Structure 1
């Protein structure tokens, strides 16, 4: 099934329709995560000192914004909060690696 053949969730009639939609969304999510990590790498390149890599206020802000977006989209904000906690922590770890390599 191609992207233009993806069926909207409300119109799915078969598990094949559902799985194709989920698979396409997963490809898009991973692509966006890769793009997000390139921004993390840019941050590692431009931050002046290693102690600026971890920014707890920024972390809290990112998670709060993600949870607000979840609520606005009718999604469980606890799920999104948990996912973003992991995403941000892994992003910080990656940024430390890139910072230390420069």
Structure 2
């Protein structure tokens, strides 16, 4: 992949963007692996959301955004979308591994 300044065409630019987007998706998958592994250390389902952890991690994400030349509010907004989704995946995983399995028929019993 060429650097942005070395790109000689729109096709080069699009290839770079597509390559980076694939890396972002792969990194989200790796993050999910860690989130699911964390379930091993949760004593019960109620301990999964950990709002104190979420609050503690946001200043770092904002700082990292600034260091990368990004708008910290934009990055915080992304994490405001990502974090609840990852928490829900961990809850589902925890229930399957350690609690009650989730119904597969939409919840009807």
Query: Which structure carries more relative contact order (alpha carbon 8 Å, separation 6+)?
Result: 1
Which structure dedicates a bigger proportion of its chain to helix?
1
Stretches of structure 2 that go unaligned for 5 or more consecutive residues are 98-109
Please provide the CA RMSD for this pair.
1.1
Q: What secondary structure, in the 3-state scheme, does the structure 1 residue paired with 2:49 have?
A: coil
CA deviations 1:65-88 (Å, max 9, x no partner) are 111100011111111011011111
1:19 aligned residue:
14
Q: TM-score w.r.t. structure 2 length?
A: 0.83
Q: C-alpha displacement at 1:62, in angstroms? A: 2.4
Q: Computing the radius of gyration over CA atoms, which structure comes out larger, 1 or 2?
A: 2
After TM superposition, list the pairs within 5 Å mapping 1:78-93 onto structure 2.
78-93=73-88
Instruction: Confirm whether residue 46 of structure 1 aligns to residue 41 of structure 2.
Output: yes
Structure 2: how far apart are the matches of 1:21 and 1:14? 11
Take 1:10 and 1:79, find their aligned partners in 2: how far apart are those partners?
25
Contact 1:63 1:85 in 2 (8 A): no
Spell out structure 1 runs of 4+ moving beyond 3 A.
Answer: none
Q: TM-score, normalised by structure 1?
A: 0.89
The total of aligned residue pairs comes to 97
* Cα displacement (A) at 1:64: 2.0
Q: Deviations over 1:9-53 (max 9, x none)?
A: 122221101100001101111111101000010111221111110
The separation in 1 between residues aligned to 2:7 and 2:31, in whole angstroms, is 30
